[in-house]
Structure 1
Amino acid sequence: MLSPLADRTYRHLFAAQVLSLLGTGLLTVALGLLAFDLAGADAGAVLGTALAIKMVAYVGIAPVAGAFVHLLPRRTLLVLLDLVRAAIALALPWVGEIWQVYLLIGLLQSCSAAFTPTFQATIPDVLIDEAEYTKALSLSRLAYDMEALTSPVLAAALLSVIGYHWLFAGTVLGFATSAALVASVLLPSPKPPVHDEGAWSRTTRGARIYLATPRLRGLLALNLAVAAAGAMVIVNTVVLVRGTLGLGDAHLAWTLAAYGFGSMIAALSVPRLLERITDRAVMLTGATVLAGGLALGPAAASAWATLLALWVVLGFGNGLVLTPTGRLLRRSAEAGDRPALFAAQFALSHACWLLTYPLAGWLGAAAGMASTFAVLALLGALGAMLAWRLWPARDEAPSEHVHLDLPADHPHLAGAERLPAGGFRHAHPPLADGLHRSVSVG
């Protein structure tokens, strides 16, 4: 599991990711306290609006950023975005109006919408070996889960000795240190394929490749299943624990930790599972677990012990789907197209969350938890069934084809057979990127 850390470049990038995540976690706590200072009883509405701004930025900005990130070297771009995020976090403690919070959060999340897909697209260019990249994906999943567990604890410890405004300093430090770590290594910056495209075509390029690729159409449906279960956990855990069961804050923390624990078990298991079975089988199993777990929700939520067990199961299903995602994106396009493709995944997956977040909240308030579990279970089952249909197993079989317009030294042609009549023949699972617009089959 830890062998990718032997690579110095990846080691620095992973440390940058961990510190950036910790900074973001502290920001989440500090922002809630700032909202309460500014809005009092209306703090929930302020945070809800800030969350909506975040999702809109993710959905709207990521594809645009993915189309133009190649204009700067990746290292320069990532460092600049980290420094801008640090500057915005530094400004947040000084705001005195709610609209200023919205403005700064919009700017910060716009930077994150450009940073995160670019960062994710860089890792497969650093770790060329697929087995090492798979382990790196598991490490990344563990980092996200550990942040969810440790950031609130760290924030609570800091708040016992300092005011909440100082938590923003921790966020600044996290982003600044991330920038320093990224700046300390050399990063590949593959250029996208040269095409005569306008700004709109470049902006939608990642989405077009995404939606033309069967495995990625299946991934979009899987994102819906993940968002259905995740929204239930994130939005309604506090309602179930504090309201339905009448338990305290400590029980709430342990319940959320159970979800993270289940995801961590999956992240640790996935590399070995993928040595034996396909990505499709692992991810469809995860979606089935999510839909089935949600269906059992009304019965499991009647006692804390069974709710804990259910949250572990949902976390496990979440990890089975999300951990291999980078492998699908990596094998669906050449290096130059990956930033646009990762940006498309970032935007489309958050569009699913933009649907399920309010659905989980409004249904819970209007119809009760049993109905909310049932509707989200149906949504999760729909995602799993659509993924099964949109991503047929046969579409992963290598397809033999001929490239007529690529130079002999092109990396994609490694091991290809040169044909006497011209062109190169090889086989691999279907791709829908720019290299495969003018291939002939056979």
Structure 2
Amino acid sequence: MFAAQVVALAGTGLATVALGLLAFALAGDRAAAVVATALTIKMVAYVGAGPLLTAALVRVPRRAVLVGADAVRALAVAALPWVDQVWHVYVLIAVLQCASAVFTPAFQAVIPELVDDRGYTGALALSRLAYDLEALASPLLAAALLALVPFHGLFALTAVSFAASAALVLTTELPRDTGDPRRAAASWRVFATDPRLRAVVLLDLAAAVVTALVLVDTVVLVRAHLGGTDAGVAVALAFFGAGSMAVAFALGRLVDRFGTRALMVAGPAVLAAGSAVLAAGWVLAPGFAVLAAGWTVLGLGCSLIAAPSGRVLRDAAPEGGLAGVLAARFALSHACFLATYPLAGWAGGLDPAAVFAGAGAAVAVCGAAAALLWRPWTANP
């Protein structure tokens, strides 16, 4: 199952690069608007269609759901090289992302049934590492492949990766299905009644504030404010990923020593402190070293929130309702990005020190509210 996740994520990274090149081939100077629209469609699919499709498919055997989602993703990506209209891209992206919004929660719901409690922490760490490695390695892999094949070939390789993921799932023995439509439908209500899950939403919002800042504004900070190069942008993003990976490598030891709640609540504190120091450093001695150090700390804070969160969702889910809870969290966390991505784009034109300070204040408020909601006595051991 981990191999299935890795190959699928590698293909997704290749498709992200290829999509930008396809948008430029179809729309020229309007390519940025095409990519932005495609990303918006992705978020809408995650927020709106994902939970509905998960609930509708709850009686379908999980192997069929996972393999079917991979098959749909492979077909949608394989069709992208043949399109000649921008609206064709939008339709195929909508199909692709709806399938991804089904696959990811279903995949996450299987993992805790394959391992014990200790193994689950390790599985969450590996899953986080896979996401971080995808963000770091896929652009480099795409650049190497583009020296050998045209960008349309990246879509073909992505389709192959989804087919390989489906084959791995198909040949893996999975636990018996335990889904219940009534439990799946109640999953959203759990987020309103369980203080731990309300706190998780606030923590996801804190992570979304910082992640959007990093992903959207790094290019402006490096190129416009520091006079750096395209390679400098990639290196800065790598520091953010490295901070996240450091937590993933140490997750098991951290959970054993401090517990899930302490780690997750510490995430916004790390983010707020990192943002404050980054703002001060930018005023006193702006430079790439300050940005790289700040991005590393922000990567640490975001991973403290994201990496162990699966344990909380597993503990809070009603019997037979884990897939629904994961789908609801998947939608809610991406709804946060629908708000923070535009804000980060607007903030790109402001003074960086003020932006860092504002981000720090926002995550501090989210973290304080989450800590008040999720008191130690509300957390399971």
TM over 0.5: yes
Q: Distance in 2 between matches of 1:50 and 1:194?
A: 31
Partner of 1:295: 276
Q: Alignment partner for residue 342 of structure 1, among 301, 304, 326?
A: 326
Please tell me whether the aligned partners of residues 284 and 388 of structure 1 are also in contact (alpha carbons under 8 angstroms). yes
Q: Distance in 1 between matches of 2:339 and 2:223?
A: 25
Please tell me whether the aligned partners of residues 267 and 323 of structure 1 are also in contact (alpha carbons under 8 angstroms). yes
Please tell me whether the aligned partners of residues 261 and 312 of structure 1 are also in contact (alpha carbons under 8 angstroms). yes
1:335 Cα deviation (Å)?
4.7
CA 1:252/1:131 → structure 2, altered by over 3 Å: closer, same or farther?
same
Q: Distance in 2 between matches of 1:253 and 1:97?
A: 31
RMSD: 1.5
Matched, 1:390 2:373: yes
1:184 Cα deviation (Å)?
0.3
Partner of 1:417: none
Partner of 1:100: 88
1:189 Cα deviation (Å)?
4.1
Matched, 1:305 2:305: no
Partner of 2:61: 73
1:396 Cα deviation (Å)?
2.2
User: Which segments of 5 or more consecutive residues in structure 2 lack a partner in the other structure?
Assistant: none
Q: Distance in 2 between matches of 1:341 and 1:139?
A: 21
Farther off after superposition, 94-103 or 183-192: 183-192
Amino acid at match of 1:40: G
Amino acid at match of 2:131: Y
Farther off after superposition, 285-294 or 347-356: 285-294
Aligned ranges 1:184-223 → 2 under 5 Å: 184-193=171-180, 195=182, 203=185, 205-223=186-204
Q: Distance in 2 between matches of 1:95 and 1:350?
A: 28
Q: Distance in 2 between matches of 1:162 and 1:193?
A: 46
Partner of 2:122: 135
Matched, 1:371 2:359: no
1:185 Cα deviation (Å)?
1.1
Q: Distance in 2 between matches of 1:193 and 1:264?
A: 35
SS in 2 for 1:336: coil
Which of the pair is proportionally richer in helix? Answer: 2
Partner of 1:175: 162
Partner of 2:212: 231
Partner of 1:415: none
Q: Distance in 2 between matches of 1:209 and 1:74?
A: 22
Amino acid at match of 1:28: T
How many correspondences in the alignment?
378
Q: Could you give the per-residue CA deviations for residues 245-292 of structure 1, whole angstroms, max 9, x where no partner exists?
A: 011122111111111110010111121011111211111111111122
Q: Distance in 1 between matches of 2:84 and 2:181?
A: 48
Matched, 1:166 2:153: yes
Matched, 1:51 2:8: no
Please tell me whether the aligned partners of residues 69 and 339 of structure 1 are also in contact (alpha carbons under 8 angstroms). no
Q: Alignment partner for residue 354 of structure 1, among 303, 319, 338?
A: 338
Please tell me whether the aligned partners of residues 13 and 138 of structure 2 are also in contact (alpha carbons under 8 angstroms). yes
Q: Distance in 2 between matches of 1:230 and 1:136?
A: 23
SS in 2 for 1:296: helix
SS in 2 for 1:162: coil
Partner of 1:39: 27
Partner of 1:315: 299
Q: Distance in 2 between matches of 1:38 and 1:299?
A: 43
Amino acid at match of 2:165: S
Q: Distance in 1 between matches of 2:74 and 2:334?
A: 23
Please tell me whether the aligned partners of residues 225 and 379 of structure 1 are also in contact (alpha carbons under 8 angstroms). yes
User: Which segments of 5 or more consecutive residues in structure 1 lack a partner in the other structure?
Assistant: 1-12, 196-200, 398-428, 430-442
Matched, 1:245 2:226: yes
**Bigger Rg over Cα:** 1
- Under a length normalisation based on structure 2, what TM-score does the superposition of the two structures give? 0.96
Partner of 2:142: 155
Q: Alignment partner for residue 326 of structure 1, among 282, 286, 310?
A: 310
Please tell me whether the aligned partners of residues 363 and 371 of structure 1 are also in contact (alpha carbons under 8 angstroms). no
1:222 Cα deviation (Å)?
0.4
- Under a length normalisation based on structure 1, what TM-score does the superposition of the two structures give? 0.83
Q: Distance in 1 between matches of 2:107 and 2:179?
A: 16
1:69 Cα deviation (Å)?
2.7
1:209 Cα deviation (Å)?
1.1
SS in 1 for 2:58: helix
Please tell me whether the aligned partners of residues 254 and 263 of structure 2 are also in contact (alpha carbons under 8 angstroms). yes
CA 1:308/1:38 → structure 2, altered by over 3 Å: closer, same or farther?
same
CA 1:250/1:193 → structure 2, altered by over 3 Å: closer, same or farther?
closer
Amino acid at match of 1:27: A
Q: Which of 1 and 2 has higher RCO (CA within 8 Å, sep 6+)?
A: 2
SS in 2 for 1:331: helix
1:187 Cα deviation (Å)?
1.4
Q: Distance in 1 between matches of 2:28 and 2:346?
A: 22
Q: Distance in 1 between matches of 2:30 and 2:351?
A: 23
Amino acid at match of 1:319: S
Q: Distance in 2 between matches of 1:30 and 1:98?
A: 14
Q: Distance in 1 between matches of 2:236 and 2:27?
A: 28
The sequence identity of aligned pairs, in percent, is: 51
Q: Could you give the per-residue CA deviations for residues 144-171 of structure 1, whole angstroms, max 9, x where no partner exists?
A: 1111111011000001121111000110
1:194 Cα deviation (Å)?
7.0
Please tell me whether the aligned partners of residues 47 and 332 of structure 2 are also in contact (alpha carbons under 8 angstroms). yes
Q: Distance in 2 between matches of 1:376 and 1:361?
A: 13
